Structure 1
Amino acid sequence: MSTPVHSTVGDQLAQLGHTNLSDVLAKACQDYGDKPAFSCGADTLSFNELEKRADAFARYVRGPAGLEPGDRLAIQLPNLLQYTITIFGALKAGLVIVNTNPQYTPYETRHQFADSGAKAVVVLDKLVPLVRKIQGETGIELLIVTSLDDFANPEYSCAEDDEVRFMQALREGEKLPAVKPERDLDDLALLQYTGGTTGVSKGAMLSHRNILSNVLQATNIIRPGDVEYGNEVRVSPLPLYHIFAFTANCIASVATGFHSVLITNPRDLDSMMADLKRHRITLLTGINSLFVSLMAHPEFDNIDFSHLKWVNSGGAPLNTEIAKRWQARTGSVVREGYGLTETSPVVVASTAFTPYKEGFIGRAVIDTEMRTVDDAGNETPRGEPGELLIRGPQVMQGYWQRPEATAESITDDGWLKTGDVGVIDEEGFLKLVDRKKDMILVSGFNVYPNEVEDAVMVHPGIRECVAVGIPDEKKGEAIKLFVSLNDPALDKDAIIAHCREHLTGYKVPSTVEIRDDLPKSTVGKLLRRVLRDEARAAAGAA
């Protein structure tokens, strides 16, 4: 899989000869065979075992399940070995995967199932009642049902005619004729739905080429000798239904022969600590809030981090102070990345090839162009903020069944409008300033919440924080800060004093609210939008 950095992604794909994503597993079996591919709890699958079971799944869905290449298959599971089998089995069968958050409400699930036109779903047994509640408003015809302990205690029978147990599907599939992948690089592989923070959740259409290109872009940031393909152990707490984990912790990990340890419930920190102790970990993928939670756990300093080479952070902004604390406690560097659902997702990464620049994420991965523009679409000078635009082989084909939204997001010459405000310096390093919609206008001055939050987090007594804008008669908008604490003795006056020490006057929060915990999404991202809407509603009612 390792290829020269100067090669283009197209050249590398040609060298590999891959025509679709299922080729990744086939190649991994040749290279790594009986080495462990995925572990979850006490269960482990080798690359060969994964291929055998994925092949059985592919045979079943193309046989008794009646699905055809191009049909959509929803997956509604936490991180389990069954998830990895389903992914590679579906890809081999030529299906289009629809990743679905298992913590979704019926409303959210209904939208995603109906919008995608999914004909079947692989679902956790305890979620079957939810699917039944909304099934009549969707195209779901078959439920493939699994349980958390299906490997230890497999079940094979179902009471309903339109249900089949996951293990029974594999058992039946083993007896059926083989299927060959019938998808090419530019065929659709994945419908990955956006978080829906700016209107209805939309399905980003990611092709086999998009994801394979991004896998190659991600592996090209690894310096020769930094890792040993086939002999690394990577802990994967981020859910595979999230695009970063799907590409990095599933597809790319198979391509590189990494042994991925899946964490089913990263909020169960005691269980995760046990996994960290059980394995000789060399790599870890996480998110800012997870690093905060892990470092607060009483067993954290009893973990052996001596073999940990580095940590990847993706899915949400990494706080500089948290990264420093992590490195001080573990000795390992946190390498930040930036990407979007619409870019498969990796766009920018901090790598061993590039010098560290505090406050900057890194440079664009190979074959990726970046520029920033003002509100009129004019390119802004290097060092000046503007909306970040991206162009590269990882950029999606468009939004599923939404040509108008696609046209609004992707220019005629292929530039994706990210909606993020960024600064690109003279050396091509990216600093992500903020989302355009999150900018706070204080007395005519632009204030970006991330800048305020970075300054606040320098204080060791602060655990997490979120800055939002609220209406203010004099200033237009004022800044409200929500915090959770490491030091319960810390009060609002001390926090404001700290802000005054580190921020220009107009950037200092007017009000501070201390909470035990701040709201987060199911992947651990702090929900600024929830707090912003709540704060604005309260300010309007005052």
Structure 2
Amino acid sequence: MTSRPWLDSYGTIPTEIDPDIHPSITALAEAAMTRYGGKTAFVSSGQRHSYTEIDAISRNFCAYLQSMGVRKGDRVGVMLPNVVAFPVAMLGIMRAGAVQVNINPLCTASELQHQLNDSGSKCIVVFGDALATLAEVVATTRVRHVIVAGRPSTGDALGWDARVPDGIEGAVGLPAALRIGSLLPRHPVQLGGDDLLFLQYAGGTTGESKGAALTHRNLVANTEQLKAFLPQATRECEEVVVTALPLSHIFGLMVSLLTNFSIGAENWLVRNPHDMNALVDTLKLARPTVFVGGNTLYAGLTQHPGLAEVDWSRLRLSGAGGAPVDAAMSARWQAITGSFIREGYGMAETSPVLSINPPSIEAFSGHTGLPLPSTDIKLLDDDGQEVPFGEPGEVSAKGPQVMRGYWQQPEANAAAFTEDGYFRTGDIGRFDKHGFLQVVGRKEDVGRPQPRCAALAPA
């Protein structure tokens, strides 16, 4: 695209970000752990964990993984809900230079088998509740090391149950792995922006899911883009976020965890968002400045009588991920919290955010906002030609947050990218005269993972 018509609507938002401001997400995270030290990083199951504590524990986990033979580029599955074991595992894996395979802890045995075999994972960190699913398929995979994070236990100082249920031979409890790792050396690994960070499997419209190969540079870029676009909700050391969207989903992982970790936020992790009573109690205690949810979650919350008892006076951003949010839902949320839901757009393949409504938008709009800094979007017809401005076409994107490609899928990559490097999302959108993007439908029979998710809703 030779011009970016949306830039006239940017106001004071920078048009470009530096995707190499940190050489890797590992460097970004280590800088945050050093900078914010004793500040609370996570609140999980009633326990607070400082940035310094997360630093030390994840170093121990890295050392343990390295002692098990995990090397740079190896794939490690993570099948955990939103508990503090998730960021500890993530940081340990990236410090070892390995690639994290994000797996929904509620996935089926066949889905798990496919993702482990397709990624070639030889190690997995799994929640105790998902062990039965893993036990069904582990013998048919390459997995040789199983690390189990159980339910929180008041008897364990780290907040994890050290017991390993029967069912998988050789499984090791996470507390035991951390104790072993604390006695071992950790070997620093040199990482760059082009090194892989995550494999994110998206559900396919046809056939099995494909793994979006996301690099360190992809995620550094998207965190910087988000901070540049929403400075009012990414204030250093001031944000308190309640994370109810699953961290196994790239939206929750990038927006709720990585971006907020980089600015020294306090993050309250919600293990089971379906338990509305517990979620509302968490919201009462946290008094969040940032909240990210999905349409179903917002629907449940707005029907809960306790939501009106939450102190919403600090809320600055409400986000929506996973599915579009309608105007009626935003109106109900705003009536209770005083904040409308700010829409955006993204997908696993784009790390995930492509566009968001900027701070100048002060009411629910029905569109998905402006493309982020350093992002080009063009709309294509069935012949791959750019449609006239204002006409609908397939949303095709280029930017530093766009994936390297699908893991070991050369034919899918050939179909997914244009000759000039734009990723074809399979979604149909149109631009209005001010450069705001509206997603209006889905291109039929694209044969690729269905990526669409509403990105940010405002608070």
Q: What is the alpha-carbon distance in structure 1 between the residues aligned to residue 160 and residue 346 of structure 2?
A: 39
- 1:396 Cα deviation after fit: 0.6
Q: What is the alpha-carbon distance in structure 1 between the residues aligned to residue 445 and residue 338 of structure 2?
A: 34
8 Å CA contact 1:25–1:47 kept in 2: the answer is: no
- Equivalent residue, structure 1, for 2:172: 164
- Equivalent residue, structure 2, for 1:327: 334
- Equivalent residue, structure 2, for 1:306: 313
Q: What is the alpha-carbon distance in structure 2 between the residues aligned to residue 221 and residue 97 of structure 1?
A: 27
- 1:68 Cα deviation after fit: 1.0
In structure 2, runs of 5+ residues without a counterpart are 1-11, 447-452, 455-459
The one of 45, 59, 62 aligned to 1:58: 62
Distance 1:208 1:351, change over 3 A: same
- Equivalent residue, structure 1, for 2:81: 78
1:375-396 per-residue CA deviation (whole Å, 9 max, x = no partner) reads: 1222112221111111111111
- Equivalent residue, structure 2, for 1:498: none
- Equivalent residue, structure 1, for 2:392: 385
Q: What is the alpha-carbon distance in structure 2 between the residues aligned to residue 357 and residue 102 of structure 1?
A: 33
1:443-475 per-residue CA deviation (whole Å, 9 max, x = no partner) reads: xxxxxxxxxxxxxxxxxxxxxxxxxxxxxxxxx
8 Å CA contact 1:60–1:170 kept in 2: the answer is: yes
Distance 1:403 1:438, change over 3 A: closer
Given the alignment of the two structures, is residue 37 of structure 1 paired with residue 41 of structure 2, yes or no?
yes
- 1:352 Cα deviation after fit: 0.8
Q: What is the alpha-carbon distance in structure 2 between the residues aligned to residue 426 and residue 364 of structure 1?
A: 14
8 Å CA contact 1:77–1:124 kept in 2: the answer is: yes
User: Considering only aligned residues, what root-mean-square deviation do their CA atoms show, in Å?
Assistant: 2.2
Distance 1:183 1:420, change over 3 A: same
Q: What is the alpha-carbon distance in structure 1 between the residues aligned to residue 289 and residue 206 of structure 2?
A: 37
Count of aligned positions:
434
Q: What is the alpha-carbon distance in structure 2 between the residues aligned to residue 287 and residue 412 of structure 1?
A: 35
8 Å CA contact 1:347–1:365 kept in 2: the answer is: yes
**Which one has more relative contact order, counting CA pairs under 8 Å at least 6 apart?**
2
The one of 407, 413, 416 aligned to 2:414: 407
- 1:227 Cα deviation after fit: 5.0
Distance 1:75 1:298, change over 3 A: same
Amino acid at match of 2:343: E
- Equivalent residue, structure 2, for 1:249: 256
Give matches, 1:126-165, under 5 Å: 126-150=129-153, 151-152=158-159, 154-155=161-162, 162-165=170-173
Q: What is the alpha-carbon distance in structure 2 between the residues aligned to residue 234 and residue 152 of structure 1?
A: 20
Amino acid at match of 1:134: V
- 1:157 Cα deviation after fit: 6.6
Given the alignment of the two structures, is residue 232 of structure 1 paired with residue 239 of structure 2, yes or no?
yes
The one of 203, 216, 225 aligned to 2:224: 216
Distance 1:413 1:277, change over 3 A: same
Q: What is the alpha-carbon distance in structure 2 between the residues aligned to residue 188 and residue 163 of structure 1?
A: 27
8 Å CA contact 1:158–1:165 kept in 2: the answer is: no
Amino acid at match of 2:176: Q
Given the alignment of the two structures, is residue 26 of structure 1 paired with residue 30 of structure 2, yes or no?
yes
Q: What is the alpha-carbon distance in structure 2 between the residues aligned to residue 205 and residue 185 of structure 1?
A: 13
Q: What is the alpha-carbon distance in structure 1 between the residues aligned to residue 363 and residue 225 of structure 2?
A: 19
Q: What is the alpha-carbon distance in structure 2 between the residues aligned to residue 295 and residue 417 of structure 1?
A: 35
Q: What is the alpha-carbon distance in structure 1 between the residues aligned to residue 165 and residue 424 of structure 2?
A: 47
Given the alignment of the two structures, is residue 125 of structure 1 paired with residue 128 of structure 2, yes or no?
yes
- Equivalent residue, structure 1, for 2:103: 100
Q: What is the alpha-carbon distance in structure 2 between the residues aligned to residue 260 and residue 357 of structure 1?
A: 26
- Equivalent residue, structure 1, for 2:294: 287
- 1:244 Cα deviation after fit: 0.3
Given the alignment of the two structures, is residue 116 of structure 1 paired with residue 124 of structure 2, yes or no?
no
- Equivalent residue, structure 1, for 2:8: none
- 1:158 Cα deviation after fit: 7.6
8 Å CA contact 2:72–2:98 kept in 1: the answer is: yes
The one of 248, 255, 267 aligned to 1:260: 267
Q: What is the alpha-carbon distance in structure 1 between the residues aligned to residue 288 and residue 350 of structure 2?
A: 29
1:168-199 per-residue CA deviation (whole Å, 9 max, x = no partner) reads: 11111111112213321101111000112333
Q: TM-score, normalised by structure 2?
A: 0.90
Distance 1:322 1:411, change over 3 A: same
Amino acid at match of 1:111: H
Distance 1:47 1:338, change over 3 A: same
Q: What is the alpha-carbon distance in structure 2 between the residues aligned to residue 251 and residue 397 of structure 1?
A: 19
Q: TM-score, normalised by structure 1?
A: 0.76
Amino acid at match of 1:205: A
Q: What is the alpha-carbon distance in structure 1 between the residues aligned to residue 363 and residue 378 of structure 2?
A: 21
8 Å CA contact 1:110–1:134 kept in 2: the answer is: yes
- 1:46 Cα deviation after fit: 1.0
- 1:307 Cα deviation after fit: 1.6
8 Å CA contact 1:423–1:430 kept in 2: the answer is: yes
- Equivalent residue, structure 2, for 1:497: none
Q: What is the alpha-carbon distance in structure 2 between the residues aligned to residue 187 and residue 152 of structure 1?
A: 32
Percent identity, aligned pairs only? 36
- Equivalent residue, structure 2, for 1:275: 282
- 1:200 Cα deviation after fit: 1.4
- 1:361 Cα deviation after fit: 1.5
Q: What is the alpha-carbon distance in structure 1 between the residues aligned to residue 364 and residue 333 of structure 2?
A: 17
In structure 1, runs of 5+ residues without a counterpart are 440-523, 526-542
1:27-61 per-residue CA deviation (whole Å, 9 max, x = no partner) reads: 11232111111111201211111111111100100
- Equivalent residue, structure 2, for 1:341: 348
Q: Secondary structure at the match of 1:301?
A: helix
Task: Give the structure with higher Rg (CA).
Answer: 1
8 Å CA contact 1:315–1:338 kept in 2: the answer is: no
1:300-323 per-residue CA deviation (whole Å, 9 max, x = no partner) reads: 212111221120112211212211
Deviates more, 1:112-121 or 1:35-44: 35-44
Deviates more, 1:142-151 or 1:53-62: 142-151
Deviates more, 1:82-91 or 1:271-280: 271-280
- 1:147 Cα deviation after fit: 0.4
Deviates more, 1:104-113 or 1:345-354: 345-354
Q: Secondary structure at the match of 2:204?
A: coil
Q: Secondary structure at the match of 2:305?
A: coil
Distance 1:106 1:426, change over 3 A: same
Amino acid at match of 1:417: R
8 Å CA contact 2:37–2:50 kept in 1: the answer is: yes
Q: What is the alpha-carbon distance in structure 2 between the residues aligned to residue 50 and residue 395 of structure 1?
A: 29
- 1:7 Cα deviation after fit: 6.4
Given the alignment of the two structures, is residue 193 of structure 1 paired with residue 201 of structure 2, yes or no?
yes
Q: Secondary structure at the match of 2:125?
A: strand
1:393-443 per-residue CA deviation (whole Å, 9 max, x = no partner) reads: 11111111110001100122110000001011222100010112399xxxx
